[in-house]
Amino acid sequence: MENVDTENVVIAGAGPAGLTAAIYTARSGLNPLVLEGFVPGGQLIVSPEVENYPGFPEPISGMELMDRFRKQTEQFGARFKMEVIEKVKRGNDIFEVDTGIERIETETLIIATGAEARRLDIPSEPKFYGKGVSGCATCDGAFFRDKEILVVGGGNTAIQDAVFLTRFASKVTIVHRRDYFRAVPAEMEKAKSNPKIEWLIPWVVEEIIGDNVVTGAVLKNRETGETQQIPCSGIFVAIGHDPQSKAFKELVETDKNGFILVEAGSTRTSTPGVFACGDVCDPVYKQAVVAAGHGCMAAMDLEQYIYSKEEVKC
């Protein structure tokens, strides 16, 4: 904890927002430092196929797309550290970022930490993580060859995961708590036309059953209260994300759900010199392309902030 460096720009997060901000600030000669955390690439890297990112007419895996983002960012000289911000202290015209490994001083900060996957609110879930419960279909799907599995959720990730998992599983049952889906029609159509996919709506997972590995689940119907036990070997959870803003709560204002508040039409937070972009401040769109756009906005807002400060000094 002895290191104290001074940076022009520290960017927290290495998803589409953070890396786009890094590309723009690097091209502007600001020599950004990206603290990419323990999962570089953000949520997108668990997507088996991305079909809606402009410029890619053929589907591309989220991992590969983010790998390209990263290469492009490195090309412009951005620097990377695999560290996570634990706390930020505000000083006079300077921010002190504490990663637990080192302290870094920076003039400006871009928060692009994205969101983290929600877990099922079931006490037994952690026990079965890696033993039937998973949050990553592309990572763990192959372990479920010819097995019956559940996918919990109703958004794009859940529906894409369900379709992807039919490559391995004998049957995939989508369990969703609402009687409508947030997934886009194109994804829903793929799932509906897949003969290996079945649907249980509006049901929720009440309990996970098994000794050492998952052997089934107890489900409850949200309308009737009816419960049923169904056998399954795997449960893939894709029930949404929460913004990763905990480390910044004393630095910037957030809404009641933890989304960082930014001025309308900009990425400026309640603290001058701190900018937020991507899913950490976006409760509505939550798309990679939107996050990338936000990242660009944050870089431009930041440049303007730095130049206006310099003008005042002159």
The catalytic site residues sit at 136, 139-140
Q: Quote the CA–CA distance of 147 and 140 in Å, as a whole number.
A: 13
Q: Is 140 in the site for other proteins (CB under 8 A)?
A: yes
CB 172 within 8 Å of CB 158: no
Cα 232 to Cα 77, 83, 125, 133: the distances in Å are: 48, 38, 14, 11
- Spatial distance between the Cα atoms of 125 and 207, rounded to a whole number of angstroms: 8
**Given 8, 39, 51, 53, the residue binding other proteins (CB under 8 A):** 39
Q: Which is nearer to other proteins, 131 or 167 (CB)?
A: 131
25 contacts other proteins (rule: CB under 8 A): no
Does 45 engage in binding with other proteins (CB under 8 A)? Answer: yes
Structure token pair of residue 232: 């399954």
CB of 144 or CB of 203, closer to other proteins: 144
DSSP state, 50?
B
Give me the least distance between CB of 285 and other proteins, in Å please.
22
Beta strands 203-209; 234-237: pairing state:
unpaired
Check binding of 153 to other proteins (CB under 8 A). Answer: no
Find the shortest distance in angstroms from Cβ 142 to other proteins: 9
- Contact assessment for residue 103 and residue 4, using Cβ atoms and an 8 Å cutoff: yes
CB of 118 or CB of 220, closer to other proteins: 118
As a whole number of angstroms, the distance between CA 78 and CA 303 comes to: 16
Q: How far is the CB of 208 from other proteins (least distance, A)?
A: 13
Contact 37, 83 (CB under 8 A): yes
Out of 79, 103, 119, 131, point to the residue binding other proteins (CB under 8 A): 131
Q: Binding other proteins by CB under 8 A: which of 1, 2, 38, 55? A: 38
Separation CA 10–CA 97 (nearest Å): 9
Site string for other proteins, 73-112 (x = CB under 8 A): ---------x------------------x-----------
- To the nearest whole angstrom, how small is the minimum distance from the Cβ of residue 93 to other proteins? 31
**Least CB distance from residue 3 to other proteins, whole Å?**
14
Distances in Å between the Cα of 273 and the Cα atoms of 11, 38, 125, 208 are 12, 25, 40, 46
Among 212, 257, 312, 313, binds other proteins (CB under 8 A): 212
Q: CB under 8 A: which stretch of 13-21, 36-44, 49-57, 304-312 binds other proteins?
A: 36-44
Identify the H or E element spanning 208. Answer: strand 203-209
Of the residues 29, 59, 130, 283, which one makes contact with other proteins according to CB under 8 A: 130
Q: Is 43 helix (H, G, I), strand (E, B) or coil?
A: helix
- Give the residue among 55, 6, 10 at the shortest CA–CA distance from 32: 10
Chain contacts with other proteins (rule: CB under 8 A): 38-41, 45-46, 63, 82, 101, 129-136, 138-140, 143-144, 212-213, 233-234
